[in-house]
Amino acid sequence: MTFAKPLEEVRVGGEIDAQCTKCRRVTNHRIVSMQDDAIKHVLCLTCSCQHNFRAPAAVKKAAASKAKATTAAKPKEPRPAKEPKETKEAREARDAKKAAVDEREQNREKWNEFKSRFSHAVAVEYSLNGDFGQDQALNHAKFGLGFVTRVMLPNKIEVQFEESLKTLVMHVGPSGNR
């Protein structure tokens, strides 16, 4: 069922479907007056009652529901949760941590190798004024058992401890200066 009429028919004297207040239904009306392009008064051709033009409810309803449909917010699709992007700092920190772990493992390997090679050696207590030679086993108060991997004259030694390679000094102190 269509209520739309060709535009040329919408003129005073023309006929149009409209809601009749008296008939309480959509009936055929004659346009009595218009204001600009809007129909103002109509005459019901069924009951001959003149009244303000009221668009057929069906049209109104359709228009209303159409308007509602367009204005009604579409249910927003939930945005896919973005994976939190790893920051440069976080990545660097992770890499550094991994590198530190790798380094510790490498140190431990070397240290274990020394340990098995010099299992017979008696570890000397490390002290600043001590004298240490290549491959010597020493015991450090903080780092524990270590092995001298390199002597850097005049007074430095490189020592392999369980988790790290350290450079220590020797020949320093009251009884040093050899």
- Binding residues for Zn ion, rule: CB under 5 A, are 20, 22-23, 27, 44, 46-47, 49
Q: Considering the complex, state which of residue 49 and residue 128 has its C-beta at the smaller distance from Zn ion.
A: 49
Q: Shortest distance, CB of residue 8 to Zn ion, whole angstroms?
A: 24
Upper half-sphere CA count for residue 71 (Cβ side, 13 Å)? 6
Q: Considering the complex, state which of residue 22 and residue 91 has its C-beta at the smaller distance from Zn ion.
A: 22
Name residue 19's amino acid: Q
Q: Shortest distance, CB of residue 46 to Zn ion, whole angstroms?
A: 4
Q: Shortest distance, CB of residue 40 to Zn ion, whole angstroms?
A: 17
Upper half-sphere CA count for residue 164 (Cβ side, 13 Å)? 9
How distant, in Å, are the alpha carbons of 7, 70, 95, 114, 169 from that of 149? 103, 80, 28, 9, 13
* Contact indicator for 113, 165 with CB cutoff of 8 Å: no
User: Which residue, judged by CB position, is nearest to Zn ion in the bound state?
Assistant: 44
Q: Considering the complex, state which of residue 27 and residue 160 has its C-beta at the smaller distance from Zn ion.
A: 27
